[in-house]
Structures are given as C-alpha cells and as structure tokens.
Amino acid sequence: MSRGSQALLVLLAGVASLAPAIEPAEAATGRLRGYVVDESGEPIAGVSVAVTSADLPDFYERLETNKRGSFTLTVARVELAYTLQLTKPGYRSLKAEVEVRATEIAEETYTLPAVTGDQTTAELPTDSAATVEQSSAIQAFNEGLSTQRAGDLATARARFEAAVAQDPDLAPAHVALATVYLDLGEYEQALASAERGLELSPADREALRVRYEALLGLGRGDEAAVAKAELEEAEGQAVTAQSLYNEGSEAYQAQDFDVALAKFRQAAEMNPSLSDAHHAIATILVHRGDHAGAAEAADRALQLKPEDPRTLRVAYDAYRGLGDRARATEIAKGLAAVDPEFGAVGLLERGGELFNAGDVEGARDLLEQALALDPGLGKAYYLLGLCALNGGDAEQAKQHLTKFLELDPDAAEAATAREMLGAI
C-alpha cells in the first residue's frame, strides 16, 4: 500500500488547487447569469442578447446563449438599469430590464415561446422561476408562482399549501399563500398566513399589505388602522434601507469594507427582509475569516431566498470554515441543483476539498452526486478510487480506477492510477 499512500500525497497537492480563494476585490464588477428556455423549460441555444442602458448612452454589448441556454453579462458599472433584447428566429422576442449589483451574481430565467401560425413578435414578462430540480418545497413554491402569474389561483393555492406543509419555515411561501387567499376573498386564511409570514420575515411589506387588507375585509377597522400605520412605516423604512444598501455597495466597490459592512448592517436592521444586505454581510465576513458571523448572515439571506446561488456559495465557504462538513455538503448539493454552471464540476471540486480535509464519507457523497449529473466525469472516479482505498475496499477501488482510465487514459493522474492498480 506504500504506492497508494504515495498517490494520496500526490493527489493532495493537485486537488487543493481546484478551488482558489476569491478576494473581495474581484467582486467590484457585477454579473448577470441568464438562462433562456422555451415553454417546456428546455434551454434555447443561439439566442441573441443585445444589452444597452439608458444611463450609459454609449454602452452596447451583444451576447449569445450557449448550448445550455445560458449567457453571462459582466459590467463595470453597477447599480444601473440595463435593457436586454432577446431574439431568435422562430421565437417571440423578449425585452427585459435588469439591475446588476455589486457583491452578487444576479440570476434570471427568460422564457421565449415559439412562434406558431400567424403569431407576431411581442414583448413578454420575464419568468425567473428556476428550471432545475430543487427541493420539494421550493419546487412546489415555484409551481405556485407560475400558476399564480397565469391567473390560476386555485392551483396556486394548492401548490403554496403544499410548499408550507413540506417546509413550514419557508417564509416566501406563506406570504405568497396569503396573497392568493386575499385574492380569493378568504380573509381569515389570508390574515393567518400573513401573520405567519411576518413571524418568519418581520417587516415583509407584502405580508403587511395583506394583513391590512384582510383586516379591512373582515370589518376589523381599528386593527386595520394599526396595520396600515405599520405598513406605511415599513414602506418608509424599506426605502431608507435600500438607500443604505446602495451606499454600502458603493463603499464595497471602493474596497472600503469597514464602511460597507456598517452600511449593510444598518440596512439589514432597518429592513430584515432585505436579503441582499444579509448576503453582502456574509460576503464580507467570510473573507475576513468570521465564519460564524458569515454563516449566520447567509442563513438569514437563505431564509428569504432559499435557492439563491450566490448566497449558497458564501454559506458553503462559511460552514467549511467552521468545520461543519455535514452542513457544507448539504449546501453543495443545493447549489448544484440551482446552478447548472456549478453542477457536476462544482461537486467534484468540493468533493476533492472534503477528501483533502479527511472527510472521506462526505467526499464520496458529493462525488457520487457529481457522477449522477455527469457520468463521464473521469476525475470523480479517480477520487472515488482513493476514497475506497482509504476505507480498505480494494475491489471497489479497482473498479473506480479502471473506469477512470477508460474515460481519461491520458490524464495527469493516469500513471498514478496504474501504479495503484498494480499494487492492489
């Protein structure tokens, strides 16, 4: 087994380089990752994306979606509105507005219906529902959003009810359900759901609005007056909080992280429902090595936006820094589910990190998840072979290493794999 031990040492040096640290200064620009799909949710390649901005008359950029239907826009000027014009022959064109902010990778999904018969090109609203498999509660929640937009309130109600049953702490689902109840004239249910949403997400303006209107509908005028005052106060605070967040973003871009952190914290305190502020706090703290503080802020952001890829990345780094490998592994799986660009390769990298840290079981779990997404990922078999050797399972190690060599016989690790096979 001495050759196998030598191979393990070789791997440690190679895998450690898979995930280099990201310095805060790299986030000074803003990015939008867009996904373009058809009505059935299938990606559309070759869509032309023309980008302009009313705030920057000389700005113009043309992008095109890849085979996965995705494109990435990187801009040096953030906190501005950009206009996207998406076109492809055979599909209706789409015009959409987006604001790109510092410290985040904005995520949007756009749907282009096919043109049939004598249909003409028309502008459509954006659809930011995720197009990949997610947890059952989030999937039900997104299905509810889609049917709510389509005006099917009965189905939306059923899907939101399913979401809160599966995850009682999913605040956005309670608030969305409250809105549907209100629209259906079911004021008691609307009030109860709105109050539950406010327990989970204090100062949520939509929940406050529903509570106020439900109380009016129930004829509880005195309580409605109090609720209205709270709504107006929250709306004023939300405006101030957004202003503080914007000031924090400007300081962040200038790399004045002390001022930025103070502004983001003020914004989050004034409007606890401002997920961007919690995310920004987590981003700064994780780079400062305050993993406990970063994890707390990231969890608050994920409570508001449980499928946000940028926050999931920060949360992963925070929990890895805390040594909570179980939570980090859980987050990595969630990230792979909502971010196709993370996907199998991201799981492979995280699996390598866990292996290097001595968490062989956690590494094996993520590597198997990576292969479920991409069975042709040879490096995953190599790492699984090392996991098997580490656990004393020579037969399984032999199977994994043999498969690795079949898939990638010229890989840098191929010679080491052959040595280990010869020693088994």
Banded model confidence at residue 92, pLDDT cuts 50, 70, 90 = confident
In whole angstroms, give the CA distance from residue 135 to residue 312.
14
Written as one string, the DSSP assignment of 62-104 is EEE--TTSEEEEEESS-SEEEEEEEE-TTB--EEEEEEE-TT-
Q: What is the mean pLDDT of residues 96-112?
A: 77
Does the structure show a pLDDT above 80 at 70? Answer: yes
Q: Which residue has the higher pLDDT, 42 or 295?
A: 295
pLDDT digits 0-9 by tens, 161-202 = 998 998 898 888 899 999 999 999 999 999 999 999 999 888
Helix pair 187-200, 205-217: axis angle to 10 deg: 150
Sheet with 80-87: list strands edge to edge: 60-64, 48-52, 80-87, 94-100
Q: What is the mean pLDDT of residues 237-241?
A: 84
Specify the pTM: 0.49
Which range scores top for mean pLDDT: 79-83, 91-95, 167-171, 281-285? 281-285
Q: How many other C-beta atoms are found inside a 10 Å radius of the C-beta of residue 175?
A: 25
pLDDT digits 0-9 by tens, 302-358 = 988 888 888 998 998 899 889 887 888 788 878 877 776 677 787 888 888 888 888
Instruction: Check residue 126 and give its pLDDT.
Output: 32
- Asked: is 136-219 a CATH 3.40.640.10 domain? The reply is no
DSSP bridge pairs for 96: 84
In whole angstroms, give the CA distance from residue 242 to residue 250.
12
Domain ranges of the chain: 136-219
Instruction: Check residue 297 and give its pLDDT.
Output: 95
Banded model confidence at residue 18, pLDDT cuts 50, 70, 90 = very low
Q: What is the mean pLDDT of residues 76-88?
A: 77
Does the structure show a pLDDT above 60 at 291? Answer: yes
- Is 155 in a helix, a strand, or coil? helix
Banded model confidence at residue 29, pLDDT cuts 50, 70, 90 = low
Which range scores top for mean pLDDT: 31-35, 55-59, 359-363, 395-399? 395-399
**Considering the chain, what is the average pLDDT of its residues?**
80
Instruction: Check residue 123 and give its pLDDT.
Output: 30
- Is 107 in a helix, a strand, or coil? strand
